[in-house]
Chain A
Amino acid sequence: MSLRDETGPYFGEYGGRFVPESLIAALDELTDAYLAAKHDLIFQAELAELHRSYTGRPSIITEAHRFAALAGGARILLKREDLNHTGSHKINNVLGQALLAKRIGKTRLIAETGAGQHGVATATAAALMGMSCVVYMGEVDTERQALNVARMKLLGAEVIPVTHGSRTLKDAINEAMRDWVTNVENTHYLLGTVAGPHPFPVMVRDFHSIIGNEARAQLLESEGRLPTAVAACVGGGSNAMGIFHAFLDDEVALYGFEAAGDGIDTPRHAATLERGRPGVLHGAKTYVLQDEDGQTIESHSISAGLDYPGVGPEHAWLRDSGRAEYLGVSDAEAMQALWDLSRTEGIIPAIETAHALAGVLTLARTMNPDDIILVNLSGRGDKDMETAARYFGLLEDKA
């Protein structure tokens, strides 16, 4: 059986719908609408046209010659999702879900955001389609991603800082769920990753699978072969599922790089698949960073977008089966890779993406010059300039 055919609600033992009964009708409605849209040529054509004329797809592939030379092993090819409108892969899913929400008569979009990229993408889609938009963002994240808060506001969205719990992504999701339970009649919860209750993991994956589908065809065209390995960073795991999915049935190694924060053996990390245990969080059974009583443990990462104590259920399943391998990359390693890619290729990646780049450099060293690693360059680093400038002491140079 093809691994690509999994349609939920379960991936092995993971997934499901662990949510209040109040939301079940909306999830059922969404599932039905999504399945209908998936096979509806008009919907698919509308989305494809948006991606062509608005997102800027297909995104290109750039070979990172000088960056790869740092490792001196495999070739490294970058799938440039950073060049999409709004600066990351997030727009793929957002346009799909926003079109779907419109189709089922919802007039209000709500979203959670960590780094702000998903919030910006959602605010963008709401502006484009004339819908109202509320974005929940942990107070900690509104501070470290202040520029994205301004972008969302400029786009007409209301940004609500979440002031309880750990005040990061997980609490933003809780608050968005509470809003949805209350306003489900006119509101679509535009969840930004492959986590949450069914149908979100499968639907968000499908909207992002365009990344891997394009890249697979592009490599066959330009190289006449498939890559040796495909790599991406993993927080909730949307950009990774997006690029992995096309390759699930191929003889291609899959690597997901999680945020190891201060280090995977310290208490401060977000390496859910390596250090978490199966449990239930945000509506799905999956790996969770938690204590022995099942209380969620706060995650830590320099990257707001990977700072999440859960992960999409399909990743949990791919991990257990061994189809994909998940490894931790520390804050320091990621920042070094961000520096390196900027200096060798003239591309400033998002800090999230830099985790994948750091992992790939290590991986490339173990490979041969005719091996190819395809990396999802999931986002650009503009939003991270303040963090990066402080980290590298660049503001002092300017003064």
Chain B
Amino acid sequence: MTSRVEAVIDAAKSAGRGVFVGYLPAGFPSIDESVDALLALARNGADVIELGVPYSDPVMDGVVIQRATNRALEKGFKLSALFEILRRATAEIDVPILVMTYWNPVVQYGIERFASDLAASGGSGLITPDLIPDEAEEWIAASDRHGLDRIFLAAPSSTDERLRSVIESSRGFVYAVSTMGITGARADVDSAARALVARLHSQGASRVCVGVGISTADQVHDVTGYADGAIVGSHLVATLDEHGLDALGEQTSILATGLLNARK
């Protein structure tokens, strides 16, 4: 069965374009504003939303996201608020929301309980930056039980054998890390991204989105020329932080213009 995220990607594909995935952290700058920010993403052209769970030790994140998630934690962010934000946002919008979380919060909440509450509050699945398929047996079983997507990461350094395991374990799409490094805007999206996506396709991946380092409409355009979607995080977080909600909406629609005419 095709998941909602897969259906969105497939629909965009038949329309001759890629998808735009926008990331924001939950509870930043506050619970209420965080719900409004998700609505702004959805209403300005985001096809899929990635909602990050603030975590004390985010090893995959650069300074922009670290600063935002730290502030959410300092304001007392709790996992219960994650599900509240999801419920409130999914009541208003149809855009599927994937939760991006480091693994320990899920372990502590309880993998089965997390999956169940995620599904009940309208979430589509999880992106797990520090959980590789080799360690994911329980999550794979729980996500199957609750019909949730599970997005694993593929890296330029991954062997073909590992890429196959990531592809086989993922549902929704495979998250191709554009470069060896952490989140944050980069002037050039690495040629490594194009090579990685090509390798993923040749290993049988049917849906691949590229993330890390993407911050402009031109980059979205380039990336969706060879991948099924482009993921933007730090740039949106910085925009929301420095210029507020309206600017976030504007930047989202500008980035989404990068999707037009990207294919053929």
Interface centre among B56, B60, B67, B132 (most CB of A within 10 A): B56
CA distance A279 to B109 in the complex (A): 11
A296 contact set on B, CB distance < 8 A: 56-57, 104
B62 contact set on A, CB distance < 8 A: 178
Is B103 interfacial (CB 8 A cutoff)?
Answer: yes
Taking a contact as CB atoms closer than 8 A, the residue among B57, B134, B158, B181 that contacts A174 in the complex is B57
Taking a contact as CB atoms closer than 8 A, the residue among B70, B107, B130, B152 that contacts A164 in the complex is B70
Taking a contact as CB atoms closer than 8 A, the residue among B63, B79, B129 that contacts A20 in the complex is B129
Is A17 interfacial (CB 8 A cutoff)?
Answer: yes
Chain A 18-48 interface residues, beta-carbon cutoff 8 Å to B = 18-22, 24-26
Is A60 interfacial (CB 8 A cutoff)?
Answer: no
Is A165 interfacial (CB 8 A cutoff)?
Answer: yes
The answer to whether A165 and B155 touch across the interface, beta carbons within 8 angstroms, is no
Taking a contact as CB atoms closer than 8 A, the residue among A16, A20, A171 that contacts B60 in the complex is A20
Is A281 interfacial (CB 8 A cutoff)?
Answer: yes
Closest to B162 in A: A24
A-contact 0/1 string along B21-62, CB 8 Å cutoff: 000000000000000000000000000000000011111101
The answer to whether B78 and A26 touch across the interface, beta carbons within 8 angstroms, is no
Is A149 interfacial (CB 8 A cutoff)?
Answer: no
Smallest Cβ distance from A83 to chain B, in angstroms? 36
The answer to whether B104 and A16 touch across the interface, beta carbons within 8 angstroms, is no
Closest to A288 in B: B104
Closest to B58 in A: A174
The answer to whether B57 and A281 touch across the interface, beta carbons within 8 angstroms, is yes
Is A184 interfacial (CB 8 A cutoff)?
Answer: yes
A-contact 0/1 string along B164-178, CB 8 Å cutoff: 001000000000010
CA distance A18 to B136 in the complex (A): 10
A277 contact set on B, CB distance < 8 A: 108
The answer to whether B108 and A181 touch across the interface, beta carbons within 8 angstroms, is no
Is A272 interfacial (CB 8 A cutoff)?
Answer: no
Taking a contact as CB atoms closer than 8 A, the residue among A20, A164, A185, A290 that contacts B153 in the complex is A20
Known: A182-B182, A290-B104, A293-B105. A21 touches B132 (CB 8 A): yes
Chain A 265-290 interface residues, beta-carbon cutoff 8 Å to B = 277, 279-283, 285, 288, 290
Known: A165-B56, A170-B57. A293 touches B109 (CB 8 A): yes
Chain B 128-148 interface residues, beta-carbon cutoff 8 Å to A = 129-132, 134-135
B-contact 0/1 string along A154-172, CB 8 Å cutoff: 0000000000110000110
Smallest Cβ distance from A111 to chain B, in angstroms? 16
CA distance A72 to B230 in the complex (A): 70
The answer to whether B135 and A18 touch across the interface, beta carbons within 8 angstroms, is yes
Is A292 interfacial (CB 8 A cutoff)?
Answer: yes
CA distance A38 to B245 in the complex (A): 57
CA distance A380 to B103 in the complex (A): 38
Is A105 interfacial (CB 8 A cutoff)?
Answer: no
Is B215 interfacial (CB 8 A cutoff)?
Answer: no
Knowing that A293-B105, A294-B107 are A-B contacts, what are 20 other residue pairs whose CB atoms are under 8 Å apart, sorted by A's residue number?
A16-B135, A20-B129, A21-B158, A21-B162, A22-B155, A24-B155, A164-B66, A171-B57, A174-B59, A178-B62, A181-B59, A183-B180, A184-B157, A279-B107, A279-B108, A280-B103, A283-B130, A290-B108, A294-B104, A295-B105
Closest 10 CB pairs of A and B: A294-B108, A22-B155, A25-B157, A294-B105, A294-B104, A182-B181, A280-B104, A296-B56, A21-B153, A177-B59
Binding site for B on A (CB under 8 A): 16-22, 24-26, 164-165, 170-171, 174, 177-178, 181-185, 277, 279-283, 285, 288, 290, 292-296
